[in-house]
Amino acid sequence: MNLVEDCIFCKIVKGEIPCQKIYEDNKILVFLDINPVHKGHTLIIPKEHHEGIIDMPDDTLGELAKVAKKISKAVKKATGVAGFNIVQNNGADAGQDVFHFHMHIIPRLKGDGLGMWPHQKLPEEEMKDIQEAIIKSIE
């Protein structure tokens, strides 16, 4: 298995540091976030070290999505929340602190005031240009 020496999540996978485990199978580990946004904040990781979504093998990514659905249901039931976010940061500029792929399941409380990010209107031409550029970049 591809593991990285100084990666904190690889250390959790190897059992070198503890975690509050929720679920595991042969490819995936799920545990509580050590500094939860709200009670029940959970992380889903592949056991193999991959930095972000672009580096993830498609089959593992598919399995992570299935586990995310299963565990979201459990988090929702256990916490009693009506809503939750699934967040997955890619790169330091996007707020990624641990460079081992992970998905957050964050239970949300009504009126918790956390929001996400502000939206804006862009000129039509700019929208069209970026639409075309993204379409052309699909591999």
By the criterion CB under 6 A, which residues form the site for ligand AMP? 8, 19, 33-35, 43, 89, 95-98
Smallest separation, CB 55 to ligand AMP (Å):
14
Nearer to ligand AMP by Cβ, of 58 and 97: the residue is: 97
Which residue stretches of 5-123 are H helix? 8-14, 58-79
Active site residue 41: no
Q: Which is nearer to ligand AMP, 60 or 88 (CB)?
A: 88
Q: How far apart are CA 128 and CA 54, in angstroms?
A: 25
- Say if residue 86 is exposed, middle or buried (CB neighbours under 10 Å; 0-12, 13-18, 19+): middle
How far, in whole angstroms, is CA 100 from its chain's centroid?
10
Smallest separation, CB 97 to ligand AMP (Å):
4
Catalytic residues: 102
